[in-house]
Amino acid sequence: MGCGSEASKTREIPIGAKTEGAGGKEKSSATIENPTSTAVIESKPDEISVVTRNEKGEPSKVSTRFDVKDLGIPLYPGSVKTAASPDDLSLETASTTTYLVTRFTDDSPERVVEFFAKHLKDAEPYTFENIATIRGKTKDGDSASVTATKEKESKRTRIAISLERLNR
């Protein structure tokens, strides 16, 4: 069942419409088009990506595959990715790439922010109740924001890292 209407002339192809490969290495893709934009969704064993193009043909890509070592700042020591963690994401446009990473620790939000203050220039930390956040620049000049939130139920601290890099 499609979500488009005759009036919008949106064409939908269900995910899985095209499948290539075998033996656990399958790739599925779908293309969604309308008069002003196109989206291609691909699912591979190690990545899900969505590439869109606006009416000018300019692409943007959201992907679950990138190396967190490329962030330019370290992950918090001992922090872990759990089943409750969302996928790490990158969003690439013509001018910027934004990375979103989530990890968990048993340490306090304040301690997490103290760690990142050592790795960010022009750091601006803030603390309010069970949340601590810091903004600053990496050694490469990328804008970074880290928010550490003490979760009520699990008593763990969720670390959310957002980094924006100008595409050079």
Angle 137-164-161 from CA coordinates, rounded to 5° = 80
Q: Using one digit for the tens of pLDDT, what is the confidence trace for 71-123?
A: 889 999 999 988 767 788 888 888 899 999 999 999 999 999 999 999 999 99
Rounded Cα distance between 20 and 31, Å, is 15
User: What residue segments make up the domains of the chain, in order of their start?
Assistant: 10-55, 66-166
pLDDT of 78-92, one tens digit each? 999 887 677 888 888
**66-166 sits in which CATH class?**
alpha beta
Cα separation, 39 vs 37, whole angstroms: 7
Q: What is the mean pLDDT of the chain?
A: 82
* pLDDT value for 77: 96
